[in-house]
Structure 1
Amino acid sequence: MLVFNCTKAAAEFFSVTRKGEVLSCLEAAPHKTIAESVEMPVFPADVEPHEHDGTQWHWVVHCVTVKRKKYLLVMDYVSRYCITFLATKKGDEINFLNTFEQMLKSNVEFLAELAGIDSVEVELALEQYDNKYNTCAFHARGDRSVQGHLNDVAWHLERQCFEEGMLLEPYDWTAFSAFVGQIPRNAKGRGKHFFPNKAFMDVWLQDIGVNNAVDDLSNIVFLSDYRK
């Protein structure tokens, strides 16, 4: 199950007002913090917890505006890898999910190729992802540590757009995500700095099931239909 924890800016993006009524895909979070939900997962009433290993994958979604264009920054809570792309239609979570999944898979394929992982095994892992993550939830909830890293990504995005050109195509979004993924991060409870690119692929390969060891990506510098 994918869990999208939305900052205030993202929550506003996922909400629209029609005929005086606010419509939103957001629902009340089961815990105050993401950390609590990671430790004690709670599933919606219509989701069977034991299906697909009862796994929850937490992301934090943020929305920023650069040169009058809105971008969505979707950061993996654990690895702090951030998938960046142009915002979809306001209030349309289905469009968002379709774009997010396309970009998620594009980023995995991009990093896997750099790591020298066999493409056949990557395809098998993507199939396992499709089988394992087929429902989702949206909550209005952020995280101070993740927000700090999101703000840094937003800074690099603004610099990129103003100094080198807007990111308008899927490949540009993937390359930018990989670029900021090589910036070292730190988080409470971790003894040393880590690199989102490597942490993301480690989590992906361990969780989804590809057994190849991942090469060290820390020094590399480079710019689906919705199922519920």
Structure 2
Amino acid sequence: MLVFNCTKAAVEFFSVTRKGEVLSCLEPAPHKTIAESVATPIFPADVDPQEHDGTQWHWVVHCVTVKRKKYLLVMDYVSRYCLTFLATKKGDEIDFLNMFEKMMVSNFMFLANRKGVDSIEADLAIARYNDKYTTCAFHPRGDRSVQGHLNEVAWHLEQQCYEDGMLLMPNEFIDFSVFMGKFPRNAKGRSSHFFANDVFVDTWLKDLDFDEGPLDTTNLVYLSNYRK
């Protein structure tokens, strides 16, 4: 299950008012902090905790405005890798999810290719993702440590837009996310600094259980076939 923890700015983005009623996809978080939810996952009543290994992948969503354009910054809680893209339709979580997954997979494939990951391994990792993450939840909750890293991304985004031009195309967003992923990070509970680019790719290949052993690939349709 994907869990999107939304800052105050993101909460506003995901909320719309119609006929005096505030409509939003957000629901109260089961814990005060993301760390607690990671340690003791709690699933919505309509989600089977055992389905798809009971996995939760936490992200923090933030929204910033640069030159009157809204951008969404979506940072992986563990790796601190940040997806950056133009804001989708306000209050439309489906539109957001479609863009989020498109950008996330594109960023992973780009980084995996640069790291020398075999294309079949990368396609298998995506197939694992599609199998495991079929539900999601949105919570009004932030994290001080992640917010610090998000603020850094926002600062560089603003500098980029004012000095070198607005980010508008998918490849520009990927390049920007990869650039931000090269900065050394630190976080509570980590013994040393880490780099978001490396941890993000490792998350796909390790946490998606690629190392469990050989898979039956007889009926697998590789995404790479569609990219040729």
Regarding TM over 0.5, the answer is yes
**SS class of match (1:27):** coil
Partners of 2:90 and 2:203 in 1: CA distance: 31
Partners of 2:77 and 2:124 in 1: CA distance: 24
2:219 matched residue in structure 1: none
1:159 matched residue in structure 2: 159
1:200 to partner: Cα distance:
1.0
2:221 matched residue in structure 1: none
Report Cα offsets for 1:9-38 as digits up to 9, x if no partner: 000000000000000000010000000000
1:94 to partner: Cα distance:
0.2
1:93 to partner: Cα distance:
0.3
1:203 matched residue in structure 2: 203
1:210 to partner: Cα distance:
3.8
The amino acid of 1:186's aligned partner reads N
1:37 matched residue in structure 2: 37
Where in structure 2 are the equivalents of 1:75-154 lying within 5 Å?
A: 75-154=75-154
Partners of 1:79 and 1:102 in 2: CA distance: 19
1:111 to partner: Cα distance:
0.2
The amino acid of 1:188's aligned partner reads K
The amino acid of 2:201's aligned partner reads M
The amino acid of 2:191's aligned partner reads G
Query: Identity over the aligned pairs, expressed in percent?
Result: 74
Partners of 2:127 and 2:38 in 1: CA distance: 24
Partners of 1:30 and 1:42 in 2: CA distance: 7
TM-score (norm 2): 0.91
Aligned residues: 211
Runs of 5+ consecutive residues of structure 1 not aligned to the other structure = 212-228
What is the CA RMSD across the aligned residues, in angstroms? 0.8
Report Cα offsets for 1:124-158 as digits up to 9, x if no partner: 11111101000000000000000000000000100
Runs of 5+ consecutive residues of structure 2 not aligned to the other structure = 212-228
90-99 vs 119-128, which deviates more? 119-128
Report Cα offsets for 1:61-101 as digits up to 9, x if no partner: 00000010000000000110000000000000000000000
1:193 to partner: Cα distance:
1.0
Report Cα offsets for 1:82-123 as digits up to 9, x if no partner: 000000000000000000000000000000010011112211
**SS class of match (2:59):** strand
Partners of 1:134 and 1:164 in 2: CA distance: 38
TM-score (norm 1): 0.91
The amino acid of 1:134's aligned partner reads T
1:170 matched residue in structure 2: 170
53-62 vs 114-123, which deviates more? 114-123
**SS class of match (2:22):** strand
